[in-house]
């Protein structure tokens, strides 16, 4: 099958949903073209640094990567890739996956209508906690502009994939996506890679490199550091743990000047605690090794793909944000049915209590670990998720939210 993915950003070295899906499509033998912007790094994309020159590369696994400049870029939110129509005509996809509801989706729908036998799907990552923080977004971007893009594409769309239950509600409420068209498709993780790392002894090797004893309890946190992540809560809670057998690694850095300064201040404040290691920005392959080497993942707030990767690595997940509870803005209950997630009361005291008990109880950590492994296998295995994206528009789907 010929598959084309369209997205605003794609760096083949990363492990975002688009990257993992692309890898699975190719491993399944499909011909794959990825059409994206000219930003080759996450920093360039977040800083809105784009080239005006188009370029085509072929990746080692055979994926054709076509980078196009933007023809339209409204407030760095609504964008259209220049030459997208021609790119679709050239790649002639049987299955067309447009990531995000935007102008690209409208062009893709026009191609699907003309082609007749091309299956078109899109996805949505937005919800009320991350996309209505300013008046422009709340009153115009979502209820008017993105909604109009969706409605224009609706006759050709087979499915809209939503990455969380809250995203399902947002897409239905703000864009008018019919419930029958929505399907929950969680951000996935490469379960096979984590299993291979464990089997290859990466846990033991990485802990030795970090100076962490086999009897120590290693906690992991990190990602893109920003005040919204409330890293100070995690550090404050950890500093109050009295155990000498507990260690904390922080893998990540700020992605803006303000976030970098925030992180520098935290590193200075907690520099005297020798149990904490600040590793800075860490390559994706090294993050996977660090997760496999760890015993518990702890995040104070603000969901990221690292939460899913931590579950994929079999880690108990401690979250310090009450909004992660069922029905709340950051709802992760769909990932915690196996007892693998603990959501604290949102205070430092609450996090101290949970971490202290987890550090002391080998049995509790083991039970939560088993819950994470089962959750990863049942819900987050990217190979199963990739298969579901193809199964839904081609006849058999398993996750429809009616």
Q: What is the mean pLDDT of residues 83-112?
A: 97
392-402: pLDDT as tens digits: 777 654 343 32
Mean pLDDT value across residues 377-399: 82
Q: Provide the pLDDT for residue 75.
A: 78
Which segment of 134-138, 182-186, 362-366 scores lowest on mean pLDDT?
A: 134-138
The 3-state DSSP class for residue 70 equals strand
Residues 6+ apart with CB under 8 A from 119: 94, 95, 96, 112, 158, 393, 394
**Mean pLDDT across the chain, nearest whole number?**
93
Q: pLDDT band for 178, please (50, 70, 90 cuts).
A: very high
pLDDT of residue 329: 82
According to the model, what pLDDT value does residue 71 have? 96
Once rounded to an integer, what is the mean pLDDT over residues 379-395? 89
Q: Top-level CATH class of 191-380?
A: alpha beta
pLDDT at 327 over 80: yes
Share of the chain above pLDDT 90, in %: 84
Query: Which of 248-262, 364-378, 388-402 is modeled with the greatest confidence?
Result: 364-378
Dig out the tokens for 154 from the structure. Answer: 């609706």
Task: Please name the helix (run of DSSP H) or strand (run of DSSP E) that holds residue 26, with its range, or none.
Answer: helix 17-27
Write the CATH number of the domain with boundaries 2-188+382-391: 3.40.50.2000
Model pLDDT for residues 8-27, shown as the tens digit of each residue? 999 999 889 999 999 999 99
Going from N- to C-terminal start, the domains of the chain cover 2-188+382-391, 191-380
User: What percent of the chain is predicted at pLDDT more than 70?
Assistant: 95
| CB-CB contact of 161 with 185 (8 Å) | yes
The tens digit of pLDDT for each residue in 101-114 reads 999 999 999 999 99
3-state helix, strand, coil in the chain (%, to 5): 45, 20, 35
Strands 31-36 and 246-254: unpaired
What would the pLDDT profile of 51-67 be if each residue is shown by its tens digit? 999 999 999 999 999 99
Q: Return the DSSP state at 63.
A: -
Going by C-alpha positions, the residue among 21, 191, 2, 44 that lies closest to residue 123 is: 21
- How much is the pLDDT for 401? 34
pLDDT at 267 over 90: yes
Query: Is residue 326 scored above 90 in pLDDT?
Result: no
What residues have CB less than 8 Å from 135, skipping those under 6 apart? none
Confidence (pLDDT) at 139: 61
Q: What is the pLDDT of residue 132?
A: 59
What pLDDT is attached to residue 133? 61
Determine the average pLDDT of the residues in 353-361: 97
The answer on pLDDT for 76 being more than 90 is no
Q: Which long-range contacts (CB under 8 A, 24 or more apart) does 209-217 make?
A: 210/247, 210/249, 210/277, 210/293, 212/247, 212/293, 213/245, 215/245, 216/245, 216/246, 216/247, 217/243, 217/245, 217/246, 217/247, 217/295, 217/296, 217/358, 217/359, 217/365
pLDDT in tens, 195-230: 999 999 999 999 999 999 999 999 999 999 999 999
- Per-residue pLDDT, 276: 98
Q: What is the pLDDT of residues 147-167, one digit of tens each?
A: 999 999 999 999 999 999 899
């Amino acid at each position: 099958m010929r598959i084309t993915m369209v997205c605003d950003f794609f760096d083949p070295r990363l492990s975002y949903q688009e990257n993992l899906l692309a890898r699975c499509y190719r491993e399944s033998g499909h011909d794959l073209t990825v059409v994206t912007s000219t930003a080759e790094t996450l920093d360039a994309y977040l800083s809105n640094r784009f080239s005006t020159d188009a370029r085509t590369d072929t990746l080692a696994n055979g994926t054709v990567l076509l980078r196009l400049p933007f023809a339209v870029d409204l407030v760095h939110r609504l964008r259209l890739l220049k030459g997208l129509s021609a790119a679709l005509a050239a790649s002639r996809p049987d299955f067309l996956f447009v990531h995000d509801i935007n102008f690209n989706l409208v062009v893709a729908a026009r191609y699907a209508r003309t082609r007749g036998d091309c299956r078109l799907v899109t996805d949505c990552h937005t919800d009320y906690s991350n996309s209505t923080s300013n008046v422009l977004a709340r009153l115009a971007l979502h209820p008017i502009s993105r909604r109009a893009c969706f409605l224009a594409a609706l006759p050709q769309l087979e499915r809209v994939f939503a990455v969380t239950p809250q995203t399902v509600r947002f897409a239905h409420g703000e864009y008018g996506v019919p419930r029958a068209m929505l399907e929950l498709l969680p951000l996935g993780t490469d379960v096979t890679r984590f299993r291979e790392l464990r089997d290859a002894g990466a846990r033991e090797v990485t802990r030795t490199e970090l100076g962490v004893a086999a009897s120590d309890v290693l906690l992991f946190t990190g990602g893109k550091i920003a005040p919204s992540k409330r890293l100070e809560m995690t550090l404050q809670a950890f500093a109050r743990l009295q155990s000498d057998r507990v260690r904390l690694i922080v893998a990540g850095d700020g992605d803006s000047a303000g976030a970098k300064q925030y992180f520098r201040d935290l590193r200075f404040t907690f520099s005297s605690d020798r149990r904490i290691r600040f590793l800075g920005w860490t390559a994706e392959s090294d993050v996977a090794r660090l997760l496999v080497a760890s015993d518990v993942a702890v995040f104070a707030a603000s969901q990221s793909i690292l939460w899913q990767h931590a579950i994929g690595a079999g880690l108990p997940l401690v979250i310090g944000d009450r909004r992660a509870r069922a029905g709340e803005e950051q709802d992760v209950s769909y990932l915690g049915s196996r007892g693998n997630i603990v959501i604290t009361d949102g205070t430092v005291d609450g996090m101290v209590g949970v971490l202290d008990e987890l550090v002391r109880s080998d049995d509790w950590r083991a039970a939560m670990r088993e819950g994470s492994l089962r959750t990863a296998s049942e819900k987050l295995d990217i190979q199963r998720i990739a298969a579901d994206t193809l199964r839904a528009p081609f006849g058999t789907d398993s996750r429809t939210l009616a």
